[in-house]
Structure 1
Amino acid sequence: MNYTNYHTLSPADVAQSLHSDLVQGLDQQKATELIQLHGQNILVSQTPITWPRILFRQVANPMVLVLLAASVLGFSIKDYGEGAVILVIIILNSAVGFFQEFKAEKTVESLKKLTSPTSKVLRDGKLSNIQTSDIVLGDILLFNAGDIIGADCRLFETMNFETDEALLTGETLPVSKFSHIIPDPECPIGDRFNLCYTSTIVTKGKAKGIVYATSMNTEVGKIASKLSNTKKTKKTTLSQSMDRLSYSLLALSVVFIIIVLAVNKFKINADIIIYAISLAITIIPEGLMIVLTLTMALGVRQLSKQKALVRQLNALETLGAVTDICSDKTGTITQSKMAVVQAWIPNDNIYDISGLGFEPIGKVHRHIESETTNEERSHNKSIEIKQNELSEPFKQLSIISALCNASEIKKDIETGEWSGVGDSTEIALQVFSTKVGFGKNTLLDDSNNNLPGWIILHEFAFDSSIKRMTVIAEKTGNSNTNNNKIAFLKGATEKVVESCTKILDGNSVKPITQQQLLQLVNSKVEFMANQGLRVVSLAFRELDNQDVNNNPNVFIREDIEKEMIYVGLVGICDPPRPESKASVEQCLGGGIKVHMLTGDHLFTASAIAKQVGIIPYTICEKTDSSVIQIDPLVVTADRFDKMSNEEIDCLPELPLVIARCTPDTKVKLIEALHRRKRIVAMTGDGVNDSPSLKSSDVGISMGMAGSDVAKQASSIILTDDNFATIVRAIAEGRRLFTNVEKFIRCLIGGNIAKLVCLTIGIIYKDASGHIVFPLSPVAILTNNLLTATPPAMSLATERAPDDNMKKPPRNPKQGLFNHEVILDIIFHGLVIGLLSFLSFWLVLMYFGDGNLGNNCNKEYTEQCETLYRARGTNFANFTTLLLIFPYSCRNQRRQTLSPEMIKDFCSNMFLFYSFIGGMAICIFALYVPGVNTGLFKHLSISWEWIIVAISGYPGGGRPQGGGGYQGGGGYQGGGGYQGGGYQGGGGGYQGGGGYQGGGYQQRPPPGQMNPQNQQLMMYFRSVDTDGSGALEADELQRALTNGDWSPFSLDTVRMMIGMFDRDNSGTIGFDEFVSLWKYIEDWKQIFWRFDADRSGSIANNELYNALQAFGFKITRQIVDAVVNKIKILEGAKRFRDIGGISFDRFIYSCVLIKNLDDTFKQKDQDRDGMIQLNLETFIILSLKN
C-alpha cells in the first residue's frame, strides 16, 4: 500500500482505499482483524535492548577475557584461592555493570510518555476512547485542543485546526491545517497541510481524520527504523585504552613466563611452572575492572541525583572529552515558558511586566525615561503601576490580549499549579491579561459587577498568509445595538498596521497614515526584537450596521479588518534559564564551544545567545530596519546548508548560532565538527533530532519534552531538560577520567612492583633447588585484593580538582597511557619493587645469615626463621608502600609526604579508612600466631620496622618535575574566539587571562615542557645568538618569521615587546615569547573572522567591529584616527595597494589602543571616565605610547 500520497486524494477516496466509512467508521470486528493482521500501533525497535544483550556487553571485552584466562591458570596450578577470587571479581564486575545499564533502560521505559494513552475513535457509528496502541488503518479519529495525535491521518473536517509539529519537523510555530486536496505528489512533509502526524500536538481547534498509517509506517516510525541502520558506535578512548592494556598485559605475562624458564635454562618442572604462572597472574590487576565499573556506577549515581540519566556507562567518559555542545534553545537554554515581558502604547512609554510561567502573578512597571539602547535601558527609572492606576489604552490592550485569543489557562484544584492549553504565544497573552485583571474568564463572566460581560460572536482564525487573527465580541448587559459589537485584532506588526487608519492616544482616537504609524512603531519593534522578543501588535474598532451588512449574524473578514484603531504592542519572550549564562561561561572557561541550533528567527536566536554569553553583543545587530550581520558565527540554516563541505572547512570557526535550523542542518554541523576532530555532544527532543543524536559522540535527549525515538537514540537523558545539567555531566565526565587515570597508575604501578620483587626472587633457591618466594602466594593475593584494591577504589571518589572546568578538554587521541603515564607507572613500580626486595635482602642477607632453609614455601621449620622474618619485613614494607602510593597518585604535582599531602591526609575519608584497614590487616597477618607462619609463610617483626619506616618515606615519591598530563596542554585550548578570546573563560583582552589576567602565563609543572613550547624554544634559540635569554626587536621579528608568521614591521614588533617590557630594556624573554605567541594566535582568529574575503586586509568598518569584539568601547572617530596613523606609517600608496589594514597593522592597532586604555585607567583614579592633564604630562604620555 502506498503510504506517501494520501494528501493528493480526496477523503472519500482515502476511505474507499482503506475500506472505511467517514460517517460510521470501522466496525469493531474489522478493527480486530486489522490488529491481528498488522499488529499494534506501537514503535518497534529493530534491535530491542534485552537483558541478555546488556549482560553480553559486560563480559565481551578483552580485560574480562584476560582475567578469565588468569582464573583458569590459577585453577590449573591448584591455586584455587587466586582462581576463585578472580572468578568472583568477574561475576561481581559484570553484575554491577549489568545492574546499572538494566536500571537505566527500565527508567527510559518509564519516561516514554510522548504517545497519548487513549484516542477518541468512531467505530460502528459510536464515539469511544480506546488505547492508542489499538488504532488501526481506516479508523476515524476526533481531535481537540491539547490532544496528542496517535497515528498519521488524512484530515477531512477542520475547524481552526492547528498542530505543533516541532517534534517532527522542528517548526516552532503551530501549523494551520485544512482538509482540501493538495495535488502535488512531491509536496514536502511539512507542507502537507491536510495531514496530521503521530506524536504531534493539537494546539487549537477541532478536526476529524482517517488513519492511513500506523506503527513503523508513520513518519515517526520511518525515522525510528532508519536509526537501526546507523553504523555502530566506535569505542571510547577509555575503552580503547583498556583494550590495549589487556593485550599488553597478556603479552607481558608470556614474556615473564619465558624469562622464568630462561633463567632456569628451560629445565621445566612443576615448581618452575608454578612460579612462572604465579608471576603471570601477578601482572593481571584483578581489581581493575571492578574499580573501573564501580567508578562509572558512582558517576552515574551522582548524575542521576543531578537530573541526568546515563543509559550507557561509557558515555560518561566521552563526556569528559567533549569540545563542542550543540544545543537546542527552547526548553534547554531557555525556560520554554513564553511570557509577555514588555508592552508599549503610542505616545506613552515602555511597560515592563514581571512574572514568568503560567501563574498569573506579576507587576507592571512604567519607564519614566525614554529608552535608547539595550545597555542604557538597564539604567532607566521605572515606577510600579497598580491595577486601579492603569490607563485606558493599557486596559484596552489587555482586553484585546484576552478576547482575541483561543487559549485557556487554568489552575489545578489539587496541586494548585497553573497550566495552559493552546498556542504558546496566545497562552502568554492570556496570562498577561489575567495578571492585570482582564483575563478571558473574568471578561466572559457577566456576573462580575466591576467589568462589563462579553460574549464571543465570531472568530477569524490566524491566517499565516496575512499573519493576523480577529475576534468579534459583544458587551452584555447593554442595549443590543451594533456599536456594542467590537472587533479585536492581533498579529504581526506590519500586517496589523495595514488595517489601521487611527491610533488610540490616551482617551481619544486620532487619525494617522500608515507611513506615520510605521515610523512611530518600527523603532519600538526593533528595540524589542533586539532583545529577542517576539512582537505582537493589537488593534480594535467598534462595528456599525455597514460592517455587518444589516445582518448581525454574518461577518465578512475583509469588511471587518479595516479602519482599525491601533492600540499598541507587546513583547513576548522565552527567557533564558537563570543558570544558563553561568553554565555557558563555565563551558567557555573549560575550552568548550557552545553552538545554539534553533528554529527561531535570526534575531531572536542571537539575542538569547547574547544574553547567555554564547556570542558577544557586537555580533548581529538590527539598525534602520535592516540586518547588519558582521560575523559568520551567526547564520541562518538556509545559508549554512547551501555551503559545500569544502567551503565549511575553510571557515576559521564554525557558526555558534544557526537560526531556522532543520534536522539536516544539525547533522551537517556535526559532520563538519567531526572533520575538525572535535568531540560533539548534541541535544534534542524531537523525532527529527534522532539522526543528529545518533551522529554525535554523545546524544543527549530531553526527558520531559523528548520523544520516545529521541530518547532511544541518545546515550544520556536529561530529566529536567536543563542546559546546566549538561555542563554538570561534562564536569563529572572529566572528574571520572581524571580519577580513572589515578587508580590505574596506582593498580598497575603496584602490580609492576610485585613483578619486580618476584622476578628478582628467581635468583634465590633453597637447599633442594626450589625457588624461594620473597612473598608467599597468600601474601600476594592479600596485597592484590585487600591492600591495593580498596585504596584504588577510594581514588574513584576523589572530588574534582579546582581547575576541572577551567582547562581545555583533553586530546581525544591521547588515551590513558601516553609516554609520561607509562614512564610514571614504570618508575613507581621499579622504586616500590626494588625497595620491597631491598628490605627482604637486608633482613635475609645483610643482617641475617642468608639461610634459605629447606622446603620453606610449604612449611615452617627452625631453618626457615631468617627467610620467614625477611618475608615478614618484605610484607610489611610492601603493604606500607602500597598504602602510601595512592596518596601520591592523588596529585601528580605534589611530592609524597609533603606538608600539603599530610594536611590533606584525611580529606578523602574512604582513602583514609582504606589506609587504616590495610595497616590493620598487615598487623593481623604479622602477629596472629598460626596465621603468620601457617597461612602467610612469614614471621612477626620488631626492629625491622625501622627499615619499613626508612623505605616508606621516599617509596611513594616521584621524580621532581614529574606529574600527569593534566598539567599541560589539553585539546583545542587557548586561541581563537572561545578558548582564549574575549569571553570570560580565559585569554584575550578582558577574559580571565590575557593582558591583565595572566591567561597564558600559566606554565606547566617544573621540568615539563609541552611539544609546542619545545618548538617555540627552537625558534627562540635560533635567533638568540648571544645566548642572553632575551630578544631585541629585530631578533623577535626573525623568530616570528621562522614560526611561519608573516614578517611583521619593526613598529609592530616594538609594540609587542612593550606589552611585557616592564624594565624598559627593549627585550623579551622566553616566557613572554610563549605568551606573545598565544596572543598572536588569538589576534589571527579575530582577524580571520572579519577578513571574510580572505584578502589579507580589513576595511575601516571591519576594524571597528573587530575592536568592538575585543571589548573596546570606542567610537568610529577613534578608529578613523588609528587608520590615519597607519596610513602615515605605511604610506598612502602602499595603504591603497594593500586594500586596508593588514594583519600586521591590525595587531599594531590592538596594542596601541590597549596601551592608551591602560594609561587612561591609571590616571582615572576616581573612575569617573575623565582625567585632567597638564601640557607636560600630555606630551610625555603621548610620546610614551
Structure 2
Amino acid sequence: MGKGKKVVDLEPETPYHTLSVDQVAQELATSTLEGLSSEEAAARLQKYGLNELQGDGGVKWYKVLWRQVANVLVCVLLIAAILAFATNDYPEGGVIMFIIVMNALIGFWQEFNAEQTMEALRNMSSPTAQVIRDESRITIPNNQAVPGDIMIFEDGDVVGADCRLFEVFNLETDEALLTGESLPVQKNLSVIESVDEALGDRLNMVFSSTTVVKGRAKGIVTSTGMQTQIGKIASSLMSVDSSEKTPLQKRLDKMAYMVFAAAIVLVIIVFGVHKFVYSKEAAIYAISVSIAIIPEGLVAVVTLTMAFGVSRMAEFKAIVRRLSSLESLGAVTNICSDKTGTLTQSKMVAVRMWLPLEGYFRVTGTGFIPEGEIYRQGEMVDGQLKEENEQRIVNGAGSNHFLRTLQAISLCNMAELRRTQHPETHGEWTAIGDPTEIALQVLAYKTGLSKPDLIGQGFELVSEFPFDSSVKRMSALYQSPPTKESPGEYFVFTKGATERVISCCNFWREGDKEHSLINEKGGKRAEFENMISEKMTALAERGLRVLTIAYRKYEAVAGVDLVHGLDRDEVESNLVFLGLVGIYDPPRAESRPAVLQCYEAGIRVHMLTGDHPATAAAIAKECAIIPDDVPTVNNPLVMTALQFDQMPDEEIDRMEELPRVVARCSPNTKVKMIAALHRRNLFAAMTGDGVNDSPSLKAANVGIAMGQSGSDVAKQASDIVLTDDNFATIVQAVAEGRRMFINIQKFIQHLMSANVAEIVVLIIGLAFKDRTGNAVFPMSPVEILFLNMITSSPPAMGLGLEPPSPSNMREPPRSAKQGLFSFEVVMDTFVYGLAMGILSFANFCIVVFGFNGGELSSGCNSAWSEQCEGVFLGRATSYASMTLLILSHAINCRSLRESGWKPSNLKTLNQNKMLWLSVVIGALLVFPVLYIPGFNTNVFKHSPLTYEWGLVLAAVVIFNAFAELYKWIKNKVMKPLGLEANSQAEMDRMRTYMTQNTQTDSAIDTKRE
C-alpha cells in the first residue's frame, strides 16, 4: 500500500463476510499485493492498540505485595513483634517490624521486576504472524498485527486475528473453540449474502485463536484484540493460570512447613525447660528460637535467582515458557534433536540431480540467489564423477525429460522468490517458504523455468495436496496452457521421500520413453527399485537430502469437483518416475562442539530426522553423533523409523543402547522414543517444530520448540522456545539449568546452615539460667533477625548468581528424583551448622565463665547493668563469631568438594561482585552494631568488644580448617562428582559397540529364520 493512503475508521460490526475482497481492501485501505507500509502499520497500532486480549493479564503490584506478607515466615515474625510490644520491649518490637517491612519491600521490588521480566519474555515467546509489509513477507509478534495487514496462514498455524480470506488452497480450520464443531471447516472465497450468518458458516473468514489443520491461505485482517470474535465472547479462554506452582516452589513450600513444624517443637521445648510457666523471658526466648530456624530471606533469594536465570537464557536465545523447565534442564540425560535447521544451517542448496539415461547433473551457486550453472556429468566411472566430461546446460534447453522434471520441481512448490523494491533493500533476493522448497525453486530459476514464468505461460493451479508428515510427499494438480486444439491438459506433479513416491509409481521415464512397472513386482520393478536405491544411496552418502520427482497426466472425470472433490490416494497413483534431486544442508559450525560437550556432560544425543538413512548417517558423523569411521548399514545405532516402530517394547528394552540416529522419522516414532527413554528412567529433552510434534513435546520431560521454523501449536506445547533453532542453544540451556539448580542448592545450604548454627547456640543456651530460673540468651532476638536478614541473605543472593563452575558440564546429570535436598547437601547443612554453632557458643562460654566469673544475673535478657556486663560481652562475642562464620561459610559454599580458599577459586570470585561485596559489607556492619552507644546495649543487648576479637578470629580460623578437612575426607570417601568418561571415551565406547554389533544381511536373515 502507498504511504499516502488514509486509514479509514472501522465499524466493529462491519459484516466483512458479505463484502467482496476488493470491497474489504478498499474499506481497510490496504493492498492484497503490497500489504501495509511499516509507517502505516505503526500508525494503526497506535490507533487500535495491541492485538491481544484484555482481562487478568499483566503484573498487578498489589498481588505481588500481598505475596510478600501472606506467608508462614512473615506470620511468625508478626507474632514475635506482637509479643515484644505486649511485653513492653519496644526497641525489639520496632526492629522486628522494621525487618518485616524491609523484607516485604525488598521482596516486592525483586518479584515485581521479575514478574515484569517474565511478562516481557512471555510476549517474546507468544505466537507470531506472517504478514506482508513493505512488499515483503515478514514475521512479527502476533500482538503487532493491525487491521488491514495481509496475513499468511499455513498448516499448523494459530490464526492471529479475524481475517477475510482472498487466497485459499485446501484450507481447513479447527473452530471448536468458537463454534463447538469438532470437525475441521473447509474454507472458500464465496461472498455470503446473509449479514447474520452463523460464525461456523462464514466460510470466507478465519477467526482469531482457531487453528489451521490443513492447507494454506492469505487474508486481510479485519479485527484485532478485543474486537475479534474470540475477544467478544471468550476472553477467559485465553487466560493462563500463572498461579500453578512449579515443582521447585512445591519443594520449598514443603520445606517451609517442615521448618515451621520444627519451630513449634522448639517452642514447646523452650516452655518445657521453663516448666510450662509463662513469663516474658520464656516467651521471648521461644520466639527467638522460632525466628532462628526460619530462613526469612529465602523467598526473595529464590525470586532473584529465577529471574536472573530466565533473563540469562533469553540472552542466548532460549525463551522459557514454563519455570518448571528450569530445574528440569539440570536432569536431562538424553537430547532428541531434529536435523534440519537445528543441527544444520537450514540453508539448503540443490547441488545434484539424477535422471535415468541422462545420469547425474551438477548445480553451482549458493543460497537462494538464483545464479549458477547446471552441468550434465553422466554416470559415475569407478564411483567418481569427472568434471572434465561435463556438459553445460543452457537456460531453457535440455531434453524433454529434463524440462518436464524441472516443471515438476517448479510447480509442485509453495516457495516464493522475490527481488525487493523497498528503497533500503532494492534489488536483493528474498525467499518465502520451506527451505527445501526454496532450494528447489532456486534450481528452477537457474534453468529459466521458475514458477512465475510457468504461471505466466498459462499453467494454472487447480488443486493441491500439501506435504503431510504421514505420507511424506506433496502433490499439485495443474492445467497446462490451452492451445487451439484443446483447452489444456491436466498434470499431477509430485515430490517427496523416495520410498513414499516410488510406491505410487507404476511407470518410469527414460528419455522420451515411459516404461511400465505394472505387474512387474518380481522382475522389472525389483530391478528398477534397486537401481533407484543405488543412485539414492550414492547421493545420500555424500550427506545430501534426496527427494524424488514424479508426474502423471490426469484425465478429468465429468461431474468431479477438481478443487475439493479429489481423492488424494487416487490422484497420487499411477505416477511416472522422473528423477532424483540431492539437496545439501551443511551442519552448523557449532553443532559438533556442542555434541561433544554433551558427551562430556554425560548426555547422549539422538538425531530423529525425516531424511534418508544414508543422509542422516552422513550428517550424524559430521556432527559427532556417531563415530565417522564405522559402517552404518545394519547397525543398531542407525535405524529407520519403520524398523524402530515395528519393534515391540520388550525388544527395545532389551537393547543395550537405543539408536542414536532414526531416519524417515514420523511424529509417532518420536513419542515411542520418549516412552523408551522413560522406561529406562532417563530424562529426555525433545525438539519439534510441526503440529504433529506436539504429542512428543508434551511427553518429553522438557519440550523444546523451534522459534523460527516451528508452528504455533508446537510452541504452545513446549516448555522452551529457541529463537535461533540452534542445537548449541539447547546445550547452553542445559548448562544454565544445571547452574541454576546447583546455585539454589548452594544458597539453601548456606541459609539453613546458619539457621542450624543459631538453633545449636540457643538450645544449648537453655542449660544456663539466671537466679530467677529464666534461660539467659546467648544471642538476642534482634541479633538473630539481623543475622538472618542482613548478614546471611545478601551472600545467599550472591551464591544464587554464581557463574557456572568449570566442571558444570563435566558432571553426570543429577537424578530426576534427587531434588534439591540430596544426602550430601543435607549432611553438609548439619555438619557446617553444628560446627558454627559449637564455635560460637564456645566463645560465649569462654567470655562469660572464663573471663567474667560466670556471673548470670537476672534481667540480663532485657537491660544492661554492671552485673550483666559479662553476659553482654559473651553475647557480643557469640554474635561477632556467628557473623564472620556465616560470611566465610558463603565462600565455603561455592563448591561442595573444592576448597573455597584456593587461589584459583578466589580469582573467580571477581566474577561475582554481589557475593564478595555482600561478604565485605556484612563484615563491616559488625562494627556499628557493636560500637554505636545505646544502639548496641538497648537494641542488640550486647557490649563493645576489645580483646574478645582474638576469640572471634580464632573461631573463624578453626572453622575454615575444619571445612577444608571435611571436604578432604569427602573427596576420599565419597564417589567423585565428575565423570570419568569424556567425549573421546564416549566415541570409543560407541565405536566398539557399533563395530561389534554390525551385522551382514545374511547374518540378519539367518537370525530371523
With the length of structure 2 as denominator, give the TM-score of the two structures: 0.69
Structure 1 residues 66, 310: closer, same or farther in 2, change over 3 A? same
SS at match of 1:498: strand
Q: In the alignment, which residue of structure 1 is the partner of 2:594?
A: 583
Q: In the alignment, which residue of structure 1 is the partner of 2:431?
A: 420
Q: 1:89 aligns with which of 99, 103, 110?
A: 103
Distance in structure 2 (CA, Å) of the matches to 1:724 and 1:303: 13
101-110 or 575-584, larger mean C-alpha shift: 101-110
Distance in structure 2 (CA, Å) of the matches to 1:660 and 1:226: 36
Residues 838-878 of structure 1, C-alpha deviations (whole Å, 9 max, x = no match): 12222222123333445333333333333333233222222
Q: In the alignment, which residue of structure 1 is the partner of 2:988?
A: 989
Q: In the alignment, which residue of structure 2 is the partner of 1:1111?
A: none
Q: 2:416 aligns with which of 404, 408, 431?
A: 408
SS at match of 2:766: helix
8 Å contact kept, 2:171–2:217: no
Distance in structure 2 (CA, Å) of the matches to 1:306 and 1:720: 9
Residues 3-50 of structure 1, C-alpha deviations (whole Å, 9 max, x = no match): xxxxxxxxxxxxxxxx9999989999xxxxxxxxxxxxx9999x9974
Q: 1:282 aligns with which of 292, 299, 305?
A: 292
8 Å contact kept, 1:340–1:570: yes
Q: C-alpha displacement at 1:738, in angstroms?
A: 1.0
Distance in structure 2 (CA, Å) of the matches to 1:305 and 1:440: 40
Which structure has more relative contact order (CA 8 Å, sep 6+)? It is 2
Q: Which amino acid aligns with 2:440?
A: L
Distance in structure 2 (CA, Å) of the matches to 1:489 and 1:572: 19
8 Å contact kept, 2:173–2:214: no
Counterparts of residues 177-188 of structure 1 (less than 5 Å): none
Q: In the alignment, which residue of structure 1 is the partner of 2:703?
A: 699
Distance in structure 2 (CA, Å) of the matches to 1:576 and 1:163: 34
SS at match of 2:792: helix
Residues 1010-1030 of structure 1, C-alpha deviations (whole Å, 9 max, x = no match): xxxxxxxxxxxxxxxxxxxxx
The answer to whether 1:678 aligns with 2:682 is: yes
Counterparts of residues 567-646 of structure 1 (less than 5 Å): 570-616=581-627, 628-631=633-636, 634-636=639-641, 640-641=644-645, 645-646=649-650
Structure 1 residues 774, 946: closer, same or farther in 2, change over 3 A? same
Counterparts of residues 834-853 of structure 1 (less than 5 Å): 834-853=838-857
The answer to whether 1:859 aligns with 2:863 is: yes
Residues 732-791 of structure 1, C-alpha deviations (whole Å, 9 max, x = no match): 010111111111111111111111112222233345554332223322222212211111
Distance in structure 2 (CA, Å) of the matches to 1:196 and 1:165: 8
Structure 1 residues 570, 773: closer, same or farther in 2, change over 3 A? same
Q: In the alignment, which residue of structure 2 is the partner of 1:724?
A: 728
8 Å contact kept, 2:313–2:733: yes
SS at match of 1:941: coil
Structure 1 residues 473, 900: closer, same or farther in 2, change over 3 A? same
701-710 or 89-98, larger mean C-alpha shift: 89-98
Distance in structure 1 (CA, Å) of the matches to 2:946 and 2:122: 60
Q: In the alignment, which residue of structure 1 is the partner of 2:72?
A: 65
8 Å contact kept, 2:776–2:856: yes
Q: In the alignment, which residue of structure 2 is the partner of 1:456?
A: 457
8 Å contact kept, 1:430–1:439: no
Q: C-alpha displacement at 1:247, in angstroms?
A: 2.9
Distance in structure 2 (CA, Å) of the matches to 1:780 and 1:632: 60
Structure 1 residues 395, 75: closer, same or farther in 2, change over 3 A? farther
The answer to whether 1:945 aligns with 2:949 is: yes
Q: In the alignment, which residue of structure 1 is the partner of 2:923?
A: 919
8 Å contact kept, 1:598–1:605: yes
Q: In the alignment, which residue of structure 2 is the partner of 1:530?
A: 541
Q: C-alpha displacement at 1:663, in angstroms?
A: 4.3
Q: Which amino acid aligns with 1:319?
A: L
Q: C-alpha displacement at 1:934, in angstroms?
A: 3.6
Q: In the alignment, which residue of structure 2 is the partner of 1:813?
A: 817
Counterparts of residues 773-922 of structure 1 (less than 5 Å): 773-895=777-899, 897-898=901-902, 906=910, 908-922=912-926
Q: Which amino acid aligns with 2:283?
A: I
8 Å contact kept, 2:350–2:443: yes
8 Å contact kept, 2:735–2:809: yes
SS at match of 2:640: strand
Q: In the alignment, which residue of structure 2 is the partner of 1:320?
A: 330
Residues 646-689 of structure 1, C-alpha deviations (whole Å, 9 max, x = no match): 55444444444444545444444434433332223233334433
Q: In the alignment, which residue of structure 2 is the partner of 1:75?
A: 82
8 Å contact kept, 1:587–1:594: yes
The answer to whether 1:334 aligns with 2:337 is: no
Structure 1 residues 395, 929: closer, same or farther in 2, change over 3 A? farther
Q: In the alignment, which residue of structure 2 is the partner of 1:1056?
A: none
Q: In the alignment, which residue of structure 1 is the partner of 2:31?
A: none
Residues paired across the two proteins, number: 860
8 Å contact kept, 2:439–2:583: yes
Q: Which amino acid aligns with 2:323?
A: L
SS at match of 1:699: strand
8 Å contact kept, 1:490–1:496: no
Q: C-alpha displacement at 1:514, in angstroms?
A: 12
Q: In the alignment, which residue of structure 2 is the partner of 1:624?
A: none
8 Å contact kept, 2:346–2:435: no
Q: In the alignment, which residue of structure 1 is the partner of 2:311?
A: 301
Residues 195-250 of structure 1, C-alpha deviations (whole Å, 9 max, x = no match): 99965599899999xxxxxx9999xx99x999999xx99953x4454244223312
Q: C-alpha displacement at 1:824, in angstroms?
A: 1.4
SS at match of 2:703: strand
Q: C-alpha displacement at 1:267, in angstroms?
A: 2.8
Structure 1 residues 1101, 967: closer, same or farther in 2, change over 3 A? farther
The answer to whether 1:255 aligns with 2:260 is: no
Structure 1 residues 846, 615: closer, same or farther in 2, change over 3 A? same
Counterparts of residues 1017-1056 of structure 1 (less than 5 Å): none
8 Å contact kept, 2:746–2:799: yes
Residues 973-999 of structure 1, C-alpha deviations (whole Å, 9 max, x = no match): 88xxxxx6xx936446368xx9xxxxx
SS at match of 2:291: helix
Structure 1 residues 664, 280: closer, same or farther in 2, change over 3 A? same
Structure 1 residues 598, 681: closer, same or farther in 2, change over 3 A? same
8 Å contact kept, 1:462–1:470: yes
Q: C-alpha displacement at 1:133, in angstroms?
A: 11
Q: C-alpha displacement at 1:280, in angstroms?
A: 1.0
Structure 1 residues 337, 916: closer, same or farther in 2, change over 3 A? same
Residues 771-816 of structure 1, C-alpha deviations (whole Å, 9 max, x = no match): 3322233222222122111111111121112222222210112122
Q: Percent identity?
A: 34
Q: What do you get for the CA RMSD once the two structures are aligned? A: 6.1
Q: C-alpha displacement at 1:336, in angstroms?
A: 3.7
Q: C-alpha displacement at 1:322, in angstroms?
A: 1.6
Structure 1 residues 834, 770: closer, same or farther in 2, change over 3 A? same
Distance in structure 2 (CA, Å) of the matches to 1:595 and 1:339: 25
Q: C-alpha displacement at 1:395, in angstroms?
A: 7.3
With the length of structure 1 as denominator, give the TM-score of the two structures: 0.60
Q: In the alignment, which residue of structure 2 is the partner of 1:100?
A: 114
Q: C-alpha displacement at 1:705, in angstroms?
A: 3.4
Counterparts of residues 954-965 of structure 1 (less than 5 Å): 954-956=958-960, 957-958=962-963, 959-963=966-970
8 Å contact kept, 1:459–1:470: yes
8 Å contact kept, 2:782–2:939: yes
Q: In the alignment, which residue of structure 2 is the partner of 1:499?
A: 509
Q: Which amino acid aligns with 1:525?
A: M
Distance in structure 2 (CA, Å) of the matches to 1:763 and 1:499: 100
Structure 1 residues 696, 520: closer, same or farther in 2, change over 3 A? closer
Distance in structure 2 (CA, Å) of the matches to 1:291 and 1:934: 31
Q: C-alpha displacement at 1:822, in angstroms?
A: 1.8
Q: C-alpha displacement at 1:918, in angstroms?
A: 1.1
Residues 261-294 of structure 1, C-alpha deviations (whole Å, 9 max, x = no match): 2322333312101101111111001112211221
SS at match of 1:499: strand
Q: In the alignment, which residue of structure 1 is the partner of 2:37?
A: none
Counterparts of residues 364-379 of structure 1 (less than 5 Å): none
